[in-house]
Amino acid sequence: SQRSDDPAVQTSSNSQQRSSSTHSSVKKKGVKDFELGKTLGEGSYSTVVAARDRTTGREYAIKILDKKHIIKEKKVKYVNIEKNTLNKMNHPGIVRLYFTFQDHNSLCILLYHAKNGELLTFIKKLGSFDLNCTRYYTSQILAAIEYMHDQGVIHRDLKPENILLDEKMHIKVTDFGTAKILGKNVAGETDDRANSFVGTAEYVSPELLKEKAACKSSDFWALGCILYQLIAGRPPFKGGNEYMTFQKIVHLDYTFPEGFPPVAKDLVKKLLVLNPAERLGAGGKEGVKQLKSHPFFDGVRWDTLWQQPAPRLL
């Protein structure tokens, strides 16, 4: 028998919804309809593999989750959050969910395959990005945040590992497992995660550490951390352990390396502000407008951001 929190419960309606809206296939697809390729990565509860639709030849990434393991570890809710938030998203800067299906043992999420992998890999490889590349990637991340916030979704775990790159080297934000839908969570229940730590130590906002509450502005804190990291090559707050990292965050204990471009420094300082209400970008549409008008973004063509070729990474 099926538990009410079994991922199975929400799967079929989702897949039907997606397949009718995006793919004209009448028959519901299963894992057998795909030729599986190489493993793209492993998560704590999932394996992501490259896949090709045997009929259309289209390429995807399939995230395969072991149902028993998810239920045992009480992660059903998070899987549903990821599935339901991603299912709402339709934006060039966010990984697309096409549909979900399952068999007896696993739940499969068919995703856009971001062929160039994680932004983190490129930061590590290059050490850091120049100002022009940093501006380009920061703009794309900001545009994706603006979109998800407009949809009422806070990501809460933005970091270079969760920012994937497609073959054009444009970003695709992923990992919505810790996202939050404003007002209520996607299952329509009161969110009970406010008291538990979500996110990654280095990018977590001070309000989450102190108030145990994240807001839209928390994603702008993470944006400030990522912008800093693209230029400095390392995140602004990093202690010897999680506790020490948290101490640095709540005391705003960070410094800029020499040669950090002043215009980027000014933006980082306005994003890494302890009070979320005073952070640049806070305050709804007007706040985002102000953030996008910061001199760091001078020259950015927001209207054609996704048509422009990515700058060569330097």
Residues binding ligand ATP (CB under 6 A): 40-46, 48, 61, 63, 95, 111-114, 117-118, 164, 174-175
Shortest reach from residue 314's CB to ligand ATP, in Å: 23
CB 244 within 8 A of CB 238: no
Q: Which of 249, 96, 230, 108 is nearest to 176 (CA)?
A: 96
Nearer residue to ligand ATP within complex by CB, 165 or 273? 165
Measured from the CB atom, is 52 or 292 closer to ligand ATP? 52
Helix 76-88 crosses helix 8-22 at what angle (to 10 degrees)?
20
What are the b/e assignments for 58-77, b being 16+ CB within 10 Å? eebbbbbbebeebeeeebbb
Out of 103, 157, 191, 266, which one is annotated catalytic?
157
Task: Output the CA torsion sign for 91, 95, 98, 100.
Answer: negative
Q: How many CA atoms lie within 13 A of 154 on its CB side?
A: 24
Least distance to ligand ATP, CB of residue 116, Å: 8
Q: What distances in angstroms separate CA 169 from CA 117, 118, 164, 210, 230, one per listed residue?
A: 9, 10, 9, 36, 15
Least spacing, CB of residue 111 vs ligand ATP, in Å = 4
CA dihedral of 214, 159, 131, 263, whole degrees rounded to 10:
20
Spatial separation of the C-alpha atoms in residues 78 and 304, rounded to whole Å: 34
CB of 51 to ligand ATP, least distance (A): 11
d(CA 182, CA 164): 25
Min CB(248)–ligand ATP separation in Å = 23
Q: Which is nearer to ligand ATP, 141 or 267 (CB)?
A: 141
Examine the residue annotation and report whether 6 is marked as an active-site residue of this protein.
no
Q: Which is nearer to ligand ATP, 165 or 288 (CB)?
A: 165
Task: Return the number of the residue (164 or 226) whose C-beta is nearest ligand ATP.
Answer: 164
CA 170 to chain centre: 14
State the catalytic residues: 157
